[in-house]
Structure 1
Amino acid sequence: MAKRTTKTSPQNSDPKPETELAAPAPAQSTSSPESGPYSRLTEFDIYLFRAGKHTRLYEKLGSHVVEVNGVVGTYFAVWAPSARYVSVIGNFNGWNKGSHPLNVRWDSSGIWEGFVPHIGRGEVYKYAITHVNGRELEKGDPFALWWETPPKTASVVWDTWYEWKDDYWMRNRGKFNALNKPISVYEIHLNSWRRDPSEPARQLSYNEVADALVPYIKELGFTHVEFMPVMEHPYDPSWGYQITGYFAPTSRFGTPQDFMQMIERLHQENIGVYLDWVPSHFPNDAHGLYEFDGSHLYEHPDPRKGYHPDWKSYIFNYGRNEVRAFLLSNALFWLDRFHADGLRVDAVASMLYLDYSRNHGEWEPNIFGGRENLEAISLFKELNEAVYKDFPEAQMIAEESTAFPGVTRPTYTGGLGFGMKWMMGWMNDTLRYFQRDSYYRRWHQDELTFSTVYAFSENFMLPFSHDEVVYGKKSLISKMPGDEWQRFANLRLLFTYMFTHPGTKLLFMGSEFGQTSEWKFDGSLDWHLLDYAPHQGMKECMKALNRLYRSEPALYEQSFVAEGFEWIDTMDRENSTIVYARKGTRTKEQIVVVLNMTPVPRTDYRIGVPVSGTWLELFNSDDRAFFGSGLTNSEPIVSQPQEWHGRSASVVLTIPPLAAVVLKYQNN
């Protein structure tokens, strides 16, 4: 491979491969004396693997180019305890199952291993496995670092060697990735974010996406991107959630190193990267994990625990130690080798409950008679402890849609140990409210105010994700009521409420400029919409909201504690207005937000303020630059000693129609 000359600090370097081959030479049998005995596994590795405590299995299992007794070749190791025969097959031996058998280890670990001389990086291969009952299978490598591009299904000998050039980010990401910092996430599906305008059917490469994505994210001001699953998967309509190659970024867009370079380029602009991670289920493709060695190896053998009725896929056996080690290693792999800044863990609720999407009689209670999956709960605790031990500046984010207690609380207090959790209740209530005609909103104000009843019970992230804009749910802008102007005003108002509400933020691609059609996984976003003023105004509004959020400590310093939020007025239902304050750790960091949920402007509108003095309008979603009407409060507003809303001081201002006004206290 081409060598990169830029040096990097040792702590950020992936291990250099022991050797490389410019081109593979003709294969020889493993019985050749020059191959010799070789293993990457120590007795301690086997102990950790069998105990479910190994977190670096990717350094041991899979395929690794090595030199043995002066001969360059590839070492293979695969876990297949129910097999009576395992061999490596590929182009190098004409896919002959008898040419290159592996040897089962003496220690009853169920691991088969062997060294094949004279093959190296770029060689395609599979494992030919014969079960003890004679059933024959051909499987890809669960630890493969790269795969053939679907619909092809073979694994590829590869490595993760890359000389990273993101030292500044890696040394300082704690300043950007902490819970008391602004975290504004742009969720992206690589296949459908952007296509080649001259050839819409062509998928862009990792490098081509990065060319457009990095400056776009920097312009919009998002602090992080979150990639929907990039791990290898055979079926595009699964959006990446049906994974067969857990240790490989998909080859659809390039090599693992190309994906690393994309992450590096984002880091160089101080943009963090979260990856969607799917430990909840996997598909039954013949080359994948399902019945890997002819037995229920990775999936639970009881269909009440091992089969997911919603996704028609299979559930990991969370009680099997070797499977736990596989999942622990996989999570840490992406943080270690790809410098990911966190993982968004998919479908956590489906793992926590034994009766998830199951009818009576279709599930079995735990040993205490409850519905909680005790094995999955213990896995989450162990997973988060392992991640935060080795990568303390990373974030683990749970997509968890129930009221399971303590998802983001430390494990030593009985919690699951995640850093953040998606606030699904807030999302559902907010969209339900905003889809109502403004006339009826006066009777549903509680749908907005209810969120603070539980907002500080967890470390919440506010999500408007891909799930809200598919399957007939319509795009966000299409959910908004009214004529064109009102729809855009409503969406600007919605986003302002989101960015000033306690919690971190996540927004799915396209919503930032008012994508009108539902998301299509096999097409591009409608970038031509930015030629029109309403959509360009929406994009400008999003840029301004990110600037506001990142520049005002009151909006992020105390996102997860009640001290950072205060209701001022929720009772003006007739006018459908809401007023609240956000507070930083210092007294002068005070922000007041006023929301007008109707298309009627409110002039000379009085609100109580937490502190007497001068207040300035920081942001107004009705700004003409955002395709608004331009009804703003351009002059400083001095409070009056008139009690209002239970406060000793109040101000009078103009609230535009279907708009939000954000005021900041000026220390006199």
Structure 2
Amino acid sequence: MAKRKTTTPPAQPDSSIQPTSSEPIITESAPAETPAHIDGPYSRFTDFDIHLFRSGKHQRLYEKFGSHVVEYNGVIGTYFAVWAPSARYVAIMGNFNGWDKGSHPLNVRWDSSGIWEGFIPNIGRGETYKYFIVHESGRELEKGDPYAHWWEVPPKTASVVWDTYYEWNDQDWMTSRQAKNALNAPISVYEMHMASWRRDPGNPERELSYGEIADALVPYLQDMGFTHVEFMPVMQYPYAPSWGYQITGYFAPSSRFGTPQDFMQLVDRLHQAGVGVLLDWVPSHFPGDAHGLYEFDGSHLYEHPDMRKGYHPDWKSYVFNYSRPEVRSFLLSNALFWLDRCHADGLRVDAVASMLYLDYSRNAGEWEPNMYGGRENLDTISLFKEINEAIYKEFPDTQTIAEESTAFPGVSRPVYTGGLGFGMKWMMGWMNDTLRYFERDPAFRKFHQDELTFSTIYAFTENFMLPLSHDEVVYGKKSLVGKMPGDEWQRFANLRLLFSYMFTHSGTKLLFMGGEFGQTSEWKFDNSLDWHLLDHGPHKGMAACVKALNKLYKSEPALYERNFSADGFEWIDTTDRENTVVTYCRKGNNPEDTLLIVLNMTPIPRSNYRIGVPSAGSYQELFNSDASEFYGSGISNSSPIASDEEMWHGRPQSIQVNVPPLGAVVLKVVK
């Protein structure tokens, strides 16, 4: 199979670390477009690069800034470039010079861009370094490289000269993924946290490497039937309890688990197995670590200088200055980097609501209205539009997904119609209403049917993804199965019913790791999931149920072809509060694909329960959450059920169905 490369090979690999490629090393010459009037012998920046950078439009800054091993005039070395406009002195310090602050200064460009750059001969891949920066006031700082592709393993904080050269073997996926990532495709996402999904059985304190994760994860996802995996932030983060949401290295996979190439191989193997990869992206805030972006050159360079806009009170972190063109270029380039160099199939954008509103988590007097007197952050609105337009232009076969919890209009609508341009949006209202409903004692659910049915009032105003994410199983909220009422059998039956409702409701799906087998304890970022639970019947049955739901979802077009269209969903009956049974249809492009879904929200089985059906015919049971192999009671409809001409639910044809306790039944007309 032909191999696809990402960037040119490194000019000089570190002697202690072998390059991923087995091909001969190819050197890089100085670019022909290097301007002649640069202070210094070598630059990767053209005048056009500077123009794009300073106008907020540069999409590939990772090709310019940072450290790059090159050959210049016959000498192999490393080119460094950093943005530090308020500095009066910048130098490279590292192992190669004994961390000397004065031996290797960089040159500031003549064009007032604030970029410092320089070429240092005879150092290459694997060299650790930092920028020593002296602010105009004389304040001294030691900073990691914002554009570094690799970092030391925390708690160490230096950047490492590295590259993104990798020989890809996922051509089959990349050429066909448009159909897999499309809005009318079945998208079932497994959300996971790298460090706690699974740990070394012999040493639970040790996190698995990217390669070890791939060995276990790829066959697991294939077996369970998830179409995509979403990694919680894999970008370099110094503080493990932040779960990855406090990032210092935006252009580097976390060194905790291996090299950038190791991460790329994980993505590669998932793609070869037919599994898409979504990455959690955090443009909303960053930590105040001394080696990070905060006060990078001694000034408020990346964060907004007005702390009413530049500090996030909830997360005790700093907010990007979205009005500064150079910062916009940084974020735009970063979004594209993960799609370009790491072949990600999409980005789930964290905390969008916190970026859209100036008064988010702020009291009166703690925020300043926009120029029109409103609470919307006009800078982030325009930034989201630009980023989404760039992504869908450069990578039209990917998706962006917004974690946005408000009623902000048009989040997942195209920019040309006035929307923000995201492909999908998390349906937080559905999640909150559904969990609140399922946490209730079944005896009282009949008084709260609106919590279950309200979602369809607004379900088609956006392209919604239904999330049961990590946020729902931490901080005393209990695990998913722990939220369910009743004894053990009822709790597991309730969770199977919840998943059945989720997979048959309009929208794409996301389930956090552990939920698929009924993890009983809350998620802990520093512990492995309790995989031993799969030795027990209820958990084994739960996993089998989720596997069957994924299979059903992918095999029945009615469940995905009209994911985001009102004509793909139809209630049959929501009024039977006494029995607490709800029925609805899902429809695809072909009327013959229509499915009938019946949910019994109580532990009382309903025999010969009559339902009006969309058309005449014999209805065969495709799925039953009460199946014995799922640890259910085994009440089912083993033979096709012929409809008869008895008017019910306003329909001329109806059938009588055995509806299991706390169970879901999916039926389809036999062809």
Partner Cα separation in structure 1 for residue 145 and residue 202 of structure 2: 37
Query: Residue in 2 aligned with 1:20?
Result: 12
Pair 1:152 & 2:152 matched: no
Query: Could you say if the C-alpha distance between residues 574 and 140 of structure 1 is closer, same or farther in structure 2, counting changes exceeding 3 Å?
Result: same
Q: Contact 2:497/2:664 (CA < 8 Å) preserved in 1? A: yes
Query: Residue in 1 aligned with 2:27?
Result: none
Paired residues, what number?
A: 649
Query: Could you say if the C-alpha distance between residues 21 and 652 of structure 1 is closer, same or farther in structure 2, counting changes exceeding 3 Å?
Result: closer
Query: Residue in 2 aligned with 1:577?
Result: 581
Q: 3-state SS of the aligned residue for 1:645? A: coil
Deviations 1:467-508, CA, capped at 9 Å, x for gaps? 000000000000000000000000000000000000000000
Query: Could you say if the C-alpha distance between residues 371 and 453 of structure 1 is closer, same or farther in structure 2, counting changes exceeding 3 Å?
Result: same
Gaps of 5+ in 1: 1-5, 25-34
Pair 1:254 & 2:254 matched: no
Pair 1:412 & 2:407 matched: no
Gaps of 5+ in 2: 17-38
Q: Contact 1:632/1:654 (CA < 8 Å) preserved in 2? A: yes
Q: Contact 2:186/2:554 (CA < 8 Å) preserved in 1? A: yes
Partner Cα separation in structure 2 for residue 648 and residue 377 of structure 1: 50
Query: Residue in 1 aligned with 2:179?
Result: 175
Query: Residue in 2 aligned with 1:234?
Result: 238
Query: Could you say if the C-alpha distance between residues 620 and 137 of structure 1 is closer, same or farther in structure 2, counting changes exceeding 3 Å?
Result: same
Partner Cα separation in structure 2 for residue 660 and residue 86 of structure 1: 65
Cα offset, 1:18, TM superposition: 5.3
Deviations 1:122-142, CA, capped at 9 Å, x for gaps? 000000000001000000000
Deviations 1:261-318, CA, capped at 9 Å, x for gaps? 0000000011000000000000000000000000000000000000000000000000
Query: Residue in 2 aligned with 1:525?
Result: 529
Pair 1:645 & 2:649 matched: yes
**If the length of structure 1 is used for normalisation, what is the TM-score?**
0.96
Deviations 1:206-242, CA, capped at 9 Å, x for gaps? 0001100000000000000000000000000000000
Query: Residue in 1 aligned with 2:550?
Result: 546
Give percent identity, aligned residues only. Answer: 75
Pair 1:138 & 2:133 matched: no
Partner Cα separation in structure 2 for residue 376 and residue 655 of structure 1: 49
Query: Residue in 1 aligned with 2:437?
Result: 433
Query: Residue in 2 aligned with 1:391?
Result: 395
Cα offset, 1:427, TM superposition: 0.1
Pair 1:511 & 2:515 matched: yes
Q: 3-state SS of the aligned residue for 1:600? A: coil
Partner Cα separation in structure 2 for residue 288 and residue 50 of structure 1: 22
1:359 alignment partner, one of 358, 363, 377: 363
Deviations 1:580-621, CA, capped at 9 Å, x for gaps? 000000110110100000000000100001111111100000
Q: Contact 2:42/2:118 (CA < 8 Å) preserved in 1? A: yes
Q: Contact 1:191/1:203 (CA < 8 Å) preserved in 2? A: yes
What residue identity is the alignment partner of 1:489?
A: A
Cα offset, 1:7, TM superposition: 3.6
Hey, which bits of structure 1, 4+ residues long, moved more than 4 A?
A: none
Q: Contact 1:588/1:666 (CA < 8 Å) preserved in 2? A: no
1:44 alignment partner, one of 48, 52, 58: 48
1:60 alignment partner, one of 64, 81, 102: 64
Query: Residue in 2 aligned with 1:340?
Result: 344
Cα offset, 1:36, TM superposition: 6.6
Pair 1:119 & 2:123 matched: yes
Deviations 1:369-396, CA, capped at 9 Å, x for gaps? 0000000000000000000000001000
Cα offset, 1:8, TM superposition: 1.7
Q: 3-state SS of the aligned residue for 1:328? A: helix
Pair 1:564 & 2:568 matched: yes
Q: 3-state SS of the aligned residue for 2:583? A: strand
Query: Residue in 1 aligned with 2:476?
Result: 472
Pair 1:224 & 2:204 matched: no
Query: Could you say if the C-alpha distance between residues 225 and 164 of structure 1 is closer, same or farther in structure 2, counting changes exceeding 3 Å?
Result: same
Pair 1:446 & 2:450 matched: yes
What residue identity is the alignment partner of 2:569?
A: F
Partner Cα separation in structure 2 for residue 533 and residue 198 of structure 1: 25
Q: What pairs up with 1:215-364 in 2 under 5 angstroms?
A: 215-364=219-368
What residue identity is the alignment partner of 2:12?
A: E
Partner Cα separation in structure 1 for residue 380 and residue 420 of structure 2: 10
Cα offset, 1:17, TM superposition: 3.3
Q: Contact 2:151/2:158 (CA < 8 Å) preserved in 1? A: yes
Q: 3-state SS of the aligned residue for 1:444? A: helix
Q: Contact 1:608/1:649 (CA < 8 Å) preserved in 2? A: yes
Q: 3-state SS of the aligned residue for 1:265? A: helix
Query: Residue in 2 aligned with 1:661?
Result: 665
What residue identity is the alignment partner of 2:578?
A: E
Q: Contact 1:17/1:65 (CA < 8 Å) preserved in 2? A: no
Q: 3-state SS of the aligned residue for 2:454? A: helix
What residue identity is the alignment partner of 2:438?
A: F
Cα offset, 1:23, TM superposition: 3.5
Query: Residue in 2 aligned with 1:592?
Result: 596
Q: Contact 1:175/1:181 (CA < 8 Å) preserved in 2? A: yes
Partner Cα separation in structure 1 for residue 14 and residue 492 of structure 2: 57
Q: What pairs up with 1:603-622 in 2 under 5 angstroms?
A: 603-622=607-626
Q: 3-state SS of the aligned residue for 1:325? A: helix
Query: Residue in 2 aligned with 1:102?
Result: 106
Q: Contact 1:36/1:68 (CA < 8 Å) preserved in 2? A: no
Q: Contact 1:85/1:130 (CA < 8 Å) preserved in 2? A: yes
Q: Contact 1:7/1:163 (CA < 8 Å) preserved in 2? A: no
Pair 1:161 & 2:156 matched: no
Q: Contact 2:640/2:670 (CA < 8 Å) preserved in 1? A: no
Partner Cα separation in structure 2 for residue 329 and residue 17 of structure 1: 21
What residue identity is the alignment partner of 2:474?
A: V
Q: 3-state SS of the aligned residue for 2:496? A: helix
1:8 alignment partner, one of 3, 9, 13: 3
